[in-house]
Amino acid sequence: MIRSVYGDIKKEDLGVTMCHEHFIVDLSIVRKDDESKIETIEEVVPEIKKMMDLGAQSAIEVTTNDMYRDVKKLKEISEITKLNIVAATGFYLSEYHPDWLTNATAEEIADVMVKDLTEGIDGTDIKAGVIGEIASSKDSFVGQEKKVLIASAIAHTKTGAAVTTHTGKFTAIETIETLINNGVTPDKIVIGHQDLIDDTDYHLNILKYGVNIGFDTCGKVSYQLDETRAKNIIKIIEAGYGDHVMLSNDISRRTYFTTYGKFGYTAVLGRVVPMLKEYGCSQENIKKLLVDNPARIFNNDRW
């Protein structure tokens, strides 16, 4: 089953899925700006509806415990829009970490994640369905980030939940090897933000481990052209790894919304998928990226 904020659903019912989104999130405390705070349902629902008009049915909402995750609001959004939303448990980059992580053991951090996954979050009965987005800093693991990663592996072995990450070029292999060495099934690992790296050899080197990668910052064209994202996806599919890529938009600033003239949550279905078709990607392979891969990876036989 797949554990959504509205209860467990069959993997067949997940449908077209964005693998890495934020609907209610607040990164403004660290970023010191107001645009990194998306806190009202009224603001985000019209943006989500635009994504749903293009065919989206589900989203993995990877806002962690230290990004001001709000599962009650996520459940309300799910009720209003009928979008399936999977909530997350975990901790983000070092500068967002709560102080208690410093002296906590990996086992103690894992206990928090397991509770979120099996009992409920913040005193509710709304459960997390994924561990993430577990982060490493740009060049290396900083502060408690490595311990949190090990904790996420422990929480995976106790629950079977998938682990999804925020990872750059310099920490990807260390992230994968740490998770696998601590007992995580490779196919339950999603290495996020890999579309920011324009290097297919690098992607294939990661995919050889049997893990999955997120092309999950679609529409952020100041970092990477969507045309480059689409072309790299095709190269990965041609190399035989079409079963291990998923797509998303990763909106963490309201200024990426369509009301600000950007693509919001519509970049995957409104831009990248049409480009894939234009470049000759088959409907079957597009369905893998959007439907089959998320259903397999986020499904948990133990639920």
Binding site for Zn ion (CB under 5 A): 133, 250
Among 45, 295, 250, CA closest to 132: 250
Give the residue with the Cβ less far from Zn ion, 66 or 250.
250
Q: How far is the CB of 67 from Zn ion (least distance, A)?
A: 8
Q: Which residue is nearest to Zn ion (CB)?
A: 250
Find out whether 153 and 184 touch, Cβ atoms under 8 Å: yes
Q: How far is the CB of 56 from Zn ion (least distance, A)?
A: 17
Q: How far is the CB of 62 from Zn ion (least distance, A)?
A: 5
Structure tokens at 5: 């904020």
Task: Please name the residues in contact with 50: beta carbons below 8 A apart, sequence gap of 6 or more.
Answer: 258, 264, 265, 266
Task: Please name the residues in contact with 58: beta carbons below 8 A apart, sequence gap of 6 or more.
Answer: 4, 14, 15, 16, 17, 18, 83, 84, 85, 86, 294
Exposure class string for 71-88: b at 16+ Cβ within 10 A, else e: bebbbebbeebebbbbbb
Give the residue with the Cβ less far from Zn ion, 234 or 250.
250
Give the residue with the Cβ less far from Zn ion, 20 or 104.
20
Q: How far is the CB of 251 from Zn ion (least distance, A)?
A: 9
Give the residue with the Cβ less far from Zn ion, 94 or 157.
94
Structure tokens at 67: 């990004």
Give the residue with the Cβ less far from Zn ion, 70 or 250.
250
Give CA separation, 61 vs 85, 197, 241, in Å: 6, 23, 24
Q: How far is the CB of 121 from Zn ion (least distance, A)?
A: 18
Task: Please name the residues in contact with 234: beta carbons below 8 A apart, sequence gap of 6 or more.
Answer: 276, 279, 280, 281
Enumerate helices (H) and strands (E) in the chain, giving the number of each: 12, 13
Give the residue with the Cβ less far from Zn ion, 65 or 285.
65
Q: How far is the CB of 43 from Zn ion (least distance, A)?
A: 18
